[in-house]
C-alpha cells in the first residue's frame, strides 16, 4: 500500500545499498571511486547513476556492471517492482477491515476460573492494501497495588501484512501492558480458512515464551483468535477472542 513515490524511493534506496562497492587504494587506482547518485527527472526519480569524477570515463554498460553472481541494476529494479505488487494474500487481510466488537476469555492459571472482558477493534487497510492496522480498545480487571481487581482500560495496536519476499504473513503487536513489540510470521490454510502465526514473547527479561496464534474465519462477519503458549514443552491455550463485525 505504499504510494508510488514512496515505493520508488524505497526501491532506489535498496538498489543503492545492494550495489557492490570495491575498496581501492592509490596504488591500484589513480582515480577516485565513483559514488552512486539519484537522478531527478520531470517525472520523478530515475534509476541510480554513477557520478564520475574528473579522469573517470564511462562506457556502454558501465551502470550495469556488477560483481560476478549479482543481478545487474536493471534486473534488481525489475524484481523489486514485481515483489511490491499486491496479490490474493493481501486481499485476505483486506477482507478483515472494519469495526469489530470482541469478547475475550483468558485462562491465567490452570485451576483458576477464566477472566472475561470486551472491547472494540478497528482495522483499516493502509498503503493501497499492502498492510492493515488495527486499533484495539477495551475494559478489563487487573490486580491493583493491593492485589484487588481494578478497572483497567486496555489499548493495543497491531500491523499485519504479507511479505512477498519471505512468502509469509507477518505481524507486529504492541499495547499499554508493556513496552515491547512482538513480531510474528505465519501461513494461511484455505481448506480451514485459518491463519497460523508463530512468535516469541518475553514479558520478563530472560523468560521467553514460544507462542502460536490462530485466526479462524467463520464468515465475513465473524472470526476467532486463539493464543497458545509453550509451557515446559506443553502447548496451553490461554486466550480466545471472538470478533463480530459491527454494522
The predicted-structure confidence for 110-166, as pLDDT tens digits, reads as follows: 788 999 999 999 999 999 999 999 999 999 988 888 988 899 999 999 999 999 999
Domain 88-245 class in CATH: mainly beta
pLDDT reported for residue 66: 55
Interstrand relation of 194-204 and 207-219 (parallel, antiparallel or unpaired) = antiparallel
Cβ neighbours, 10 Å, residue 184: 21
* Percent of all residues in the chain with a pLDDT value above 90, rounded to a whole number: 63
DSSP, res 71: P
pLDDT(2) > 70: no
CA gap 141, 190 in Å, rounded: 37
CA gap 45, 192 in Å, rounded: 44
Mean pLDDT of 201-221: 95
**Residue predicted with more confidence, 52 or 219:** 219
Cβ-based burial of 179 (10 A; exposed 0-12, middle 13-18, buried ≥19): exposed
What is the average pLDDT value for the chain, to the nearest integer?
A: 80
pLDDT(211) > 90: yes
Domain with CATH 2.40.128.20 in the chain: 88-245
**Residue predicted with more confidence, 52 or 118:** 118
pLDDT(48) > 60: no
DSSP, res 93: H
At what angle are helices 4-18 and 73-83 packed, to 10 degrees? Answer: 140
pTM above 0.95, yes or no: no
CA gap 75, 217 in Å, rounded: 39
Mean pLDDT of 198-225: 96
CA gap 141, 58 in Å, rounded: 70
Output the nine-digit C-alpha cell for 110. Answer: 490452570
CA gap 161, 56 in Å, rounded: 45
Amino acid at each position: 500500500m505504499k504510494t508510488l513515490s514512496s515505493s520508488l524511493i524505497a526501491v532506489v534506496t535498496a538498489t543503492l545499498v545492494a550495489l557492490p562497492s570495491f575498496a581501492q587504494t592509490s596504488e591500484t587506482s589513480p582515480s577516485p571511486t565513483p559514488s552512486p547518485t539519484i537522478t531527478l527527472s520531470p517525472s520523478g526519480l530515475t534509476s541510480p547513476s554513477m557520478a564520475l569524477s574528473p579522469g573517470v570515463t564511462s562506457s556502454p554498460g558501465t551502470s550495469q556492471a556488477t560483481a560476478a553472481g549479482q543481478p545487474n541494476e536493471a534486473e534488481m529494479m525489475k524484481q523489486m517492482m514485481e515483489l511490491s505488487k499486491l496479490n490474493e494474500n493481501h486481499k485476505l487481510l483486506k477482507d478483515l477491515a472494519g469495526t469489530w466488537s470482541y469478547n475475550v476469555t483468558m485462562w491465567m492459571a490452570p485451576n483458576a476460573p477464566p477472566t472475561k472482558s470486551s472491547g472494540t477493534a478497528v482495522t483499516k487497510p493502509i498503503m493501497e492494501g499492502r498492510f492493515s492496522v488495527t486499533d484495539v480498545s477495551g475494559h478489563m480487571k487487573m490486580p491493583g497495588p493491593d492485589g484487588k481487581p481494578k478497572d483497567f482500560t486496555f489499548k493495543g495496536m497491531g500491523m499485519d501484512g504479507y511479505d512477498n519476499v519471505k512468502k509469509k504473513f507477518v505481524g507486529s503487536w504492541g499495547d499499554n501492558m508493556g513496552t515491547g513489540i512482538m513480531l510474528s510470521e505465519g501461513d494461511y490454510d484455505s481448506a480451514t480458512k485459518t491463519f497460523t502465526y508463530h512468535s516469541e514473547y518475553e514479558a520478563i527479561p530472560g523468560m521467553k515464551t514460544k507462542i502460536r496464534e490462530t485466526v479462524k474465519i467463520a464468515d465475513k462477519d465473524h472470526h476467532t483468535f486463539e493464543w497458545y503458549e509453550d509451557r515446559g514443552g506443553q502447548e496451553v491455550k490461554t486466550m480466545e477472542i471472538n470478533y463480530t463485525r459491527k454494522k
